[in-house]
Structures are given as structure tokens and as C-alpha cells.
Structure 1
Amino acid sequence: MAEWSWASERLIDAAQRGDVESINALVYDAHPHVQRFAHALCASPQDAEDAAQEALIVLYRKIGSLRATGALASWMFRIVRNECLRRAQLMARRREHSTDAEMLPLEDEVLQRLEAERVARAIGDLAELQRRVLIMRDVQGYPGRTVADTLGLSVAAMKSQPHRARTAVRLALHTGSDARPGDAG
């Protein structure tokens, strides 16, 4: 089953084989999802737009290197996360010689980005089903029925997954440990 409803295995397979129309369709359809994730991770709207564009360029150029069709979402989110972090580091280097008064907003910005990295890592460590449900519900904003149908779950079974995932992420963030959040609940 495809990880996202817009990215069928057939479309991903064709794109991996180099079919230009499939690659274009995949990039076009991925754009709102990648953009939403970038806005959740990056410190500024400009960085988010740039990170989303960079991720889509990587998708376009390197879809053939994706090993498993089911890994598309994780791959794209990792690219966005890394691009947001790269931009935060670049901004920090540019402001190294700024005055203390100018540094306070930068410190807040870096702290926000570090927190976003911790959240992304905690989500990435979830059990696959919990991660997929959490991303579809909370990041992509799909209705519960759509998520349940896409993942082949009953609505009741689907409803318990985001709760468990959020609890595991909250626990991982609270403890600050490297424990695998997917093991909770």
C-alpha cells in the first residue's frame, strides 16, 4: 500500500524507472505535503519555502535512488529536516560576529530549530504504523476516515494510533532520552 494517497506505488515505480511524466506528477503532488512539513520545521517562512523547493529538486533529480517505494515520505521529510538544519547553521555562522542585542533573536531561532529537530527525530523513531498515522493526521491533515481507509485500518484502530504516537513523542521529548518512542504504549 502506498504511504500517501497521492503517491501510488505504480507512480513511484514509474518515477524510479525514469518516466518523466511520473516524476513531474510526483513532484507536483508532493509539493503541498513537503511545504507543510517545512513550515512546521523551519524557523522562518522564507527558510521553509527554500527548504521545500530544495526537497522537491532532490526528489526530481534523485527519485531513482530511492530504494523502497514505501520510504518516500520518510525520505522527503529527512531531506526537508536536513535542509532546515543546514539553513539554521548557515544563519548562525553569518551572525557569529553580531552584537549581543542582535544575538538574542538568533538564540531563540536556533533553540526553535533544535526543538524541531528533536521532534522530527522522535517522530522518526516511532513504530511505522504510528508514524504513518501521525504524519497523515497531524502533518498532512487528512480526516480520520481517509487515514483508516488508506492504511487498511478500522476507524477505531486508527484513532488509537495518533494518541499512542503523541504520547510516545511527548515522553521522548520530556525524558530527552534516546529510548525508542515507538516502544511506548
Structure 2
Amino acid sequence: MPYLDSPDADLVRSVQSGDASGLGALLARHEAGMRAVALSLLGYGPDAEDAVQDAMLTAVRHIGELRDPHAAGPWLRTIVRNNCRARLRTPGPVLLGDATPALPSREPTPEDLLEATALRDWVWHAVGELSEPLRLVTLLRYFTGVTSYEQIARLCGVPVGTVRSRLSQARGKLTTALRQTTDRAYDDAAGTNTRWHHEAEEILGAARRGEFARAVREYWWPDAEFIIPNGQRAPGLDFMIRGMEQDLSHGVRQRLRQVTASGDVMVWEADLISPPDNPEHCPPGLVWLHRLREGRITQLRIFHPEPARSTG
């Protein structure tokens, strides 16, 4: 790889400019030091490897925050160290990005970077290369508000241990892909997600206009399956249509917050707005988990995520 002989600063600047190929070289250069930090704090075992892999994936999303390009090595090792300390403090899983060291930010923000450069497209290409079960838990864990292993398990209808195993496999595959990054061009991921977002807005807008049945029949397959929060399956579309129409008749509205999609998996996250005269009518949020076939919805599972607990 031609970047291997380049100084860290050159690699960082190239990645911050949108050249994904420099990121693999940067991580390859510092992987041994990152692993040494993890082993010194966690000892030999899967937790140490997970901490290193999480740090690599964190670097993808947060390298735009690295103000001093010469500080890439210490920055990466600090992410690993913070990951390890978080694992030692809490028995639960560590969320990607939570252990990022606080550094002075600069424009563009990491989100802007991922939305505006080839690095964004590489990220989504790599996620899209995962198998559907691995891709689904990755999207939920790292790109949506459904982040805890327990909530992912409930939404996907699988045991928590399965979620842990799938995420471990996904991290391994993604970090391997990072190490092997090339300068290939990838499809425009932002354009794809924008298209899905517009479609979601159209469907929810149709519901508010009393046209949800029409929208469902346009965007869903006739044999689509609807899975309600308790895991029961309701074949066909009528049950879902009646549920939406009942909510609307009670004055409940949905406000779309985010749409995340990759391959044949799409997640909508929405706020549920209760009627003014009954503010406790419904939970505050709703997740729509769609599976797609040839661009149309073939299965929908809905889920009410638990509100974040206050730490104050």
C-alpha cells in the first residue's frame, strides 16, 4: 500500500479530505500499539480485541475531530484506553463513539465528513457487504438510537447472546475491510439514504392525509408480513392499516427523525406525539424495522425503544 511510508499527518489529511484509502494504512501502522494498550488493561481475551476493533470503527466516524494530524497515534491509543476503562467500569457493552477522547473539533464535523466525502460511501459499502443478520445488528448498534444489546435483541427477535455474537463477527469483518481499504469508487450512499428518507416522509404524510392504505399498497408487497411488539405475526396489510388509522383517530402523530438503510434492511426512527388532552397516550418513540425485496417492503416489525435513563 503506497501510504505506508507516509507520515501520519499526510494520512490524516488525506482521510479528512475524503480519501478512504489512507485510513487503512493509518490503522495498520498503529494497530500493534492499540492492541498493546488493550492487552495491558484487559489482558488476553475477546474483550481486548473488541476494544481495538471498536476503536478502529470509532476512528472512521470521528477522524474529522482530530485537529492535530500529527497526533493520530496518541489519539487512537487514547480511544482504546477509554474503551477499556469503560469496559472495566460497567458490565454492559460499550457504545461505539462513547469512548472517543475529547479533542477540539474543527470544521467539518464528523457527520458532515461522512455525508460529504468518499469515506462515507466506503463506510456504507463495507456495511452493505455484511450478511443480512450482521448488517442489521450493525445498523442498529452504530447508526440508530437502538443501541443496547437488550433492545436490539427484542427488536430482532433473537437472544442477547446472538446479538453479541453477531456484533463481534461484524466488527471483525469491518475492521478487516478497514485494513484492506483501497481507493475504489463506491456508490453514492447519501443519495440512497436520502431517497429512502423521502419515501418514508411520503408514507407518513399520506397517513396524516388519510391515505395510508393507498401508500401501503404502493410501497409494500401484497404478501408483506407485519410483526407487532409482542412478536406475533400478522400476515397481510389490513392489520397494520387498521392500527395506523386507529392511532390517527386518537390524535396520535408521528414525526420522522432518521432513516437508516443498507441493502435489504431499512430502519425508521420516529417520535410519537400524543394528543394534547392525553399526553401519556403512547410511548415517546417508535422504530420501524423493514426488510425489503426488490425495493419494496416485505416485512415490518415495530418496536418502542426504552427512553434513555437520566444519569443526573
TM-score tier by shorter-chain length is: 0.3 to 0.5
**Structure 1 or 2: larger helix share?**
1
Report 1 or 2 for greater relative contact order, CA contacts < 8 Å, sequence distance ≥ 6: 1
> What TM-score do the two structures reach when normalised by structure 1?
0.42
**Structure 1 or 2: larger strand share?**
2
Q: Which has the larger radius of gyration?
A: 2
